[in-house]
Copies of this chain bind each other. A is one copy, B any other.
Amino acid sequence: MAKPEIIKSVTEILHKYMEQNKLRKTQERFQILKFIYDWDRHFDVDDLYNHLKESGFAVSKATVYNTLELLLEAGLIRKHHFRNNTSYYEKSYFNHSHDHVIFLDEEGNVKEIVEFCDPRIDSIKADLEKILDINITGHDLYFYTKSKK
């Protein structure tokens, strides 16, 4: 699917989500969604806030936080913690479920992120659900390396 179609599609998903939950369809929410899906990277709140500002669509940081929370609940983005105190986000639709290899520099800062898929995770998950008699709602798997890329 080409990018404009993806954006159209996630926009519709957000429309439906807001109708179902009786939320208001503000410009800010749709613009932020569009910016995220136009961008091919993982980002933190400041990255997104600055990107919006530089693109001439400044919104308050509170709105960035509110909207990210909304998009998370709508299942349109995912949130990550890479061994530091900052939350990172990424789009999640039309984007296979995947895990991450995090490349760290000397100071432990995130230098690069590589995605991978491995079906063995799903089999571990299925086994745990059976053994513990629980329903697993999600997982986070991060491998860390200091190798240069």
How close is A79's CB to chain B, nearest CB, in angstroms? 7
Does any Cβ of B come within 8 Å of A120's Cβ? yes
User: Chain A 121-149 against B: per-residue CB contact (8 Å), 1 yes, 0 no?
Assistant: 10111011000111111111111111101
Does any Cβ of B come within 8 Å of A59's Cβ? no
Does any Cβ of B come within 8 Å of A16's Cβ? no
How close is A82's CB to chain B, nearest CB, in angstroms? 9
Q: How many chain copies does the complex carry?
A: 2
Interface size on A, residues (CB 8 A): 34
B residues less than 8 Å from A58 (CB atoms): none
Using known A-B contacts A81-B83, A83-B81, determine if residue A101 contacts B136 with beta carbons closer than 8 Å: yes
Which residue of B is nearest A87, CB measured?
Answer: B85
Is there an interface contact between A140 and B140, defined as CB atoms closer than 8 Å? yes
Complex Cα distance A137/B143, Å?
Answer: 8
Q: Chain A residues in contact with chain B, CB under 8 A?
A: 79, 81, 83, 85, 87, 101, 103, 114, 116, 118, 120-121, 123-125, 127-128, 132-147, 149
